[in-house]
Amino acid sequence: MPLSSPVAHDSPVQDYLEALHARFSAVRSGKVADYIPELTKADPAWFGIAIATVDGQVYEVGTSRQPFTIQSISKPLVYGIALEDAGPEQVRQRVGVEPSGDAFNAISLEPGTGRPMNPMINAGAIAVASLVRGDSAQARLDRVVDAFSA
């Protein structure tokens, strides 16, 4: 999907991104995750950086337009959609904001209420996703996909 704004050139930000990319593009430590099949499709050589500023300027370097699976990084994005759709008070009623330090797939519920304590672990993310507006499951999915695409 093309970015909506032109790429900035002749900028200290662009120069800095290019220097970072040059410095770190040869790093090959680590291992491609294999606990989710989609993650095994990632090529460790892919390395891109993209920044879009609030004024619409876009800076990018490397393989910044390579499609990839976002997995758990979707959680803060859906949290933002829920805040927009339901408002902060309703979101806080459904899920806490306590940093748990727990793994993404931990079951961490508030004693007595059963409310998930952290929106960034799966139980909290599921609760947050239920607050995305829409008249059907498909409408809610379309809302999320449209927001991500924006």
Crossing angle for the helix pair 74-86 and 137-149, nearest 10 degrees? 110
**Cβ atoms of 120 and 77 closer than 8 Å:** no
Domain boundaries, the chain: 12-62, 71-149
Q: Each residue of 49-94: pLDDT tens digit?
A: 999 999 989 999 999 999 988 888 999 999 999 999 999 999 999 9
The backbone torsions φ and ψ at residue 77, rounded to the nearest 5 degrees and listed phi first, read: -70, -45
Q: pTM of the prediction?
A: 0.75
Give the model's pLDDT for residue 2.
42
Q: Where are the beta strands (DSSP E) in 1-150?
A: 48-52, 58-62
Q: What is the mean pLDDT of residues 108-121?
A: 89
Cβ-Cβ contacts under 8 Å for 45 (sequence gap 6 or more)? none
Give the model's pLDDT for residue 11.
86
End-to-end CA distance of the chain: 10
Q: How many CB atoms lie within 10 A of CB 15?
A: 13
User: Pseudo-torsion of CA 31, 28, 43, 8, nearest 10°?
Assistant: 130
Give the model's pLDDT for residue 6.
53
> Exposed, middle or buried by CB within 10 Å (0-12, 13-18, 19+), for 28?
exposed
Q: Each residue of 30-45: pLDDT tens digit?
A: 899 999 999 999 999 9
